[in-house]
Amino acid sequence: MNTEQPDPAELAALRRTFADLDGVADPLGWPAVHAFEARHGVVLPEPYRTFVAEIADGSRSGPPDYGLIGLAALPSDWGAGRPARELSRPFPLTAAWNWESDEETPEEELDTLVEQVCNDGSIVLGTDGCGMYWHLIVTGPHRGHIWFVADVGATPFGTDFGHTTAPTGFTAWVTHWHTGRPWFDADA
């Protein structure tokens, strides 16, 4: 996974996939992407960066199940009153974490850590409903990886982590969805 240079094969796969979908939003263009990056103090990982600049800024028909939201958007079920998102702060995880069953982390630290997982170093790609969100990590050791963040914990997406048969990264995540496979199909 190269997060610094766009892979022409990955961009071609994304173009083919989104050409088939309904409700695809127009791309933002490079000036808007550069403005977003400057405002948030990040450089988006490839191929997502080129995707939103040149291919599409979201799609009503997915991925995920309720659609791929635009770069600067949050899902309609995100909720008001949440802390500010800080994209330039590193995403805090490098391994799956089920905080609902975490008995080792002191309770006074747990809420802060969960808040960081939900708000630091990622953009939200969309929701599968019921508080289940897909994040693209933009800052930290997992830059370029996709994470599934729900009300009970967070799990990285990709074969490297054992939960799915898909490789890591944005294009692999989109392709996995587009082929109709279950998100976590490693045990299927």
Cβ neighbours of residue 181 closer than 8 Å, sequence gap 6 or more: 165, 166
First to last CA, the chain: 25
Q: Residue 141 above 80 pLDDT?
A: yes
User: What's residue 52's pLDDT?
Assistant: 98
Q: Does any domain span residue 182?
A: no
162-169 long-range contacts (CB < 8 A, ≥24 apart) are 162/186, 163/96, 167/1, 168/1, 168/144, 169/1, 169/3, 169/10, 169/47, 169/144, 169/145
DSSP lists the bridge partners of residue 86 as 120
The domain tally of the chain equals 1
Q: Residue 188 above 70 pLDDT?
A: no
Q: Does any domain span residue 114?
A: yes
Domain span including residue 81: 8-175
Other beta carbons within 10 Å of 89: 16
Q: Does any domain span residue 184?
A: no
Q: What is the CATH number of the domain that holds 127?
A: 3.40.1580
User: What's residue 84's pLDDT?
Assistant: 85
pLDDT tier at 78, thresholds 50, 70, 90: confident
31-67 pLDDT tens trace: 999 999 999 999 999 999 999 999 999 999 889 989 9
Q: Does any domain span residue 129?
A: yes
Q: Does any domain span residue 186?
A: no
Other beta carbons within 10 Å of 58: 21
Q: Which two tokens stand for residue 146?
A: 């996709």
Q: Does any domain span residue 2?
A: no
Residue 50 is which amino acid?
Answer: T
Question: What Å distances lie between residue 69 and 22, 23, 47, 112, 136, CA to CA?
Answer: 13, 11, 16, 26, 12
Q: Does any domain span residue 132?
A: yes
Q: Does any domain span residue 127?
A: yes
